[in-house]
Amino acid sequence: MSDEIDFEKPNTTRVGYSNPPRQTRFKVGQSGNPNGRPKGSLNMATVLARTLREKVVINENGKRKTVTKLEAAIKQVTNKAASGDLKAVGLLAGLVRSAEERAISTPDASSEVNEADEMVMIGILKRLESKTDGGNEDI
């Protein structure tokens, strides 16, 4: 009873979602976007940061002063808020709130040292002490 029947699959391919017809697929090794993103093109955050760092000359108390565009914009918002512009007051309050949140969330340079770091520092200090005592211990 070794009569096994071989059922051949029909020679058709499924076409549908995520299965385009064979003749319209990209050839092997061919990219769908051959030129791609041009090298050196900048994203929005980079352009914004670069623009806000540009210098402008302002007149403050009758004196010319060179400041960044960011600093000039913040001075304008602050001055408008001080003169009673309610939109400027709301914008300034939001800026102050976000600045305070960033100041709180940034880790302090004097944060605690974990145990592994402490052990490494103790080892380094011991080796330095043995070097200054004239010991010939390898580092």
Q: What is the pLDDT of residues 46-96, one digit of tens each?
A: 999 999 999 999 999 999 999 999 999 999 999 999 999 999 999 999 999
Per-residue pLDDT, 45: 92
Per-residue pLDDT, 33: 80
With respect to residue 132, please indicate whether it lies within any of the assigned structural domains. Answer: no
Per-residue pLDDT, 128: 86
With respect to residue 37, please indicate whether it lies within any of the assigned structural domains. Answer: no
With respect to residue 86, please indicate whether it lies within any of the assigned structural domains. Answer: yes
With respect to residue 99, please indicate whether it lies within any of the assigned structural domains. Answer: yes
Task: Please state the pTM of the whole predicted model.
Answer: 0.49
Alpha carbons 70 and 10: distance in angstroms, whole number: 68
Number of separate domains in the chain: 1
With respect to residue 77, please indicate whether it lies within any of the assigned structural domains. Answer: yes
**Domain containing residue 75:** 55-105
